[in-house]
Amino acid sequence: MERRNLNIFGSGSYSGGHYAKVKIKGDGTVTSDIDCQEFKTHGNSQLLGNVKAESFIIYGTVDIKENLKSNVVKINGTMDSNGDISGHQILIRGNGEIDGNLYGETVEVKGSLSVNGNCEVETFQLDGGFQIGGLLNAGSINIGMKYGESRVNEIGGESITIRKKPSFLGLSKHFGKMTTELIEGDIIYIEYTDAKIVRGNNIEIGPGCNIEIVEYKENFKQHKNSNVKENRKI
C-alpha cells in the first residue's frame, strides 16, 4: 500500500496512521499512533500516540505523550516525552525532558537533558547539564558540565570522562558540578564530582571532587584539590 504525505500548515489536528512524510509548519496535533518514514516540524507539535519513524526532526517544540522509536532523532529546540525514546542516533540541541527511558547507539546533547528512568546507549556525549533518575550506562561517556548541578543515580561504562567546562553565560564557579552514588568503569577521569564510590581499573580524580571510597585494580591518581576519604586496591 502506497503511503501518502501529511502536511499541516498553520494550525490543525489530524489522526495518525501510516504516512510517507509528515511535515508540520505552525501548530499541529496528531491524535493517535503514527508510523512514517520522515517526521519534520517547524514550530510546535503535539503527538498524542506512539511515534515510529525513520527520521524524526524538530525545529521548535514537540510534546510526545507516548513512546518514540526512530532511527535518527534530531531536536533543535525542546522535546518533552511522557514515554521512552529509542533511536540509533539521537542529537539534542536545546532541552530534552523524558519521563521514561532513553535507549540508543549514539546520544549527543548540547544543552540540558532530563531522564526520569535509565539511559542506556553505546556512546554518550553531553555539553551542558543533566539529570538522570536511574542508571547511565554506555561504552563511552564524555560529559562537559557547563552549568547547574547535574545528578545521576549510577554511572557504568568502559571509558568515562567528566569535566567542568567554561560557560559563555559567565556563571559562578559553584556551577557545573555532578552528584552520584556510584561510578564504575575501566578507565575513569572525573572533575567536580561528588560520589560515594568510584570503582575501576585506572582511575584519576581531577580537581573539585569529594569521594568517599575509591576502589581501583591497576592505577589511582588524585588531584591535590580533591578529597578522597579512602582508597584501596582490589
Average pLDDT, the chain: 95
Structure confidence at residue 76 as a pLDDT band (50, 70, 90): very high
**pLDDT at res. 146:** 87
Percent of the chain at pLDDT > 90 equals: 92
Q: How far apart are CA 90 and CA 169, in angstroms?
A: 26
Asked if the model's pLDDT at residue 203 lies above 50, the reply is: yes
Would you say residue 211 lies in a domain? yes
Would you say residue 110 lies in a domain? yes
Structure confidence at residue 188 as a pLDDT band (50, 70, 90): very high
The three three-digit cell numbers of residue 5, written as one number: 504525505
**Max intra-chain CA distance, the chain:** 67
CB 167 within 8 Å of CB 184: no
Would you say residue 222 lies in a domain? yes
Asked if the model's pLDDT at residue 220 lies above 80, the reply is: yes
Would you say residue 65 lies in a domain? no
CB 79 within 8 Å of CB 90: no
Q: How far apart are CA 215 and CA 179, in angstroms?
A: 18
- The pLDDT of 173-185, averaged and rounded, is 86
Q: Is the pTM of this model over 0.75?
A: yes
Would you say residue 136 lies in a domain? yes
For 126-150, letters b (16+ CB in 10 Å) and e give: bbbbbebbbbbbbbbbbbbbbbbeb
Would you say residue 213 lies in a domain? yes
- Per-residue pLDDT tens digits for 80-120: 999 999 999 999 999 999 999 999 999 999 999 999 999 99
Look up the domain containing 202 and give its range.
101-233
**pLDDT at res. 40:** 98
Q: How far apart are CA 180 and CA 37, in angstroms?
A: 39
Q: How far apart are CA 231 and CA 5, in angstroms?
A: 61
Query: What is the domain count for the chain?
Result: 1
Asked if the model's pLDDT at residue 172 lies above 50, the reply is: no
**pLDDT at res. 168:** 55
Q: How far apart are CA 102 and CA 131, in angstroms?
A: 12
CB 54 within 8 Å of CB 71: yes
Would you say residue 8 lies in a domain? no
- Per-residue pLDDT tens digits for 114-134: 999 999 999 999 999 999 999
**pLDDT at res. 147:** 81
Would you say residue 59 lies in a domain? no
- Per-residue pLDDT tens digits for 14-44: 999 999 999 999 999 999 999 999 999 999 9
Residue 72's φ and ψ, nearest 5 degrees, are -125, 130
Asked if the model's pLDDT at residue 169 lies above 60, the reply is: no
Residues in Cβ contact with 176 at an 8 Å cutoff, skipping those fewer than 6 apart: 129, 145, 146, 147, 148, 164, 165, 167, 192
List Cα–Cα distances, 227 to 9, 12, 203, 204, in angstroms: 57, 57, 14, 12
Q: How far apart are CA 87 and CA 64, in angstroms?
A: 15
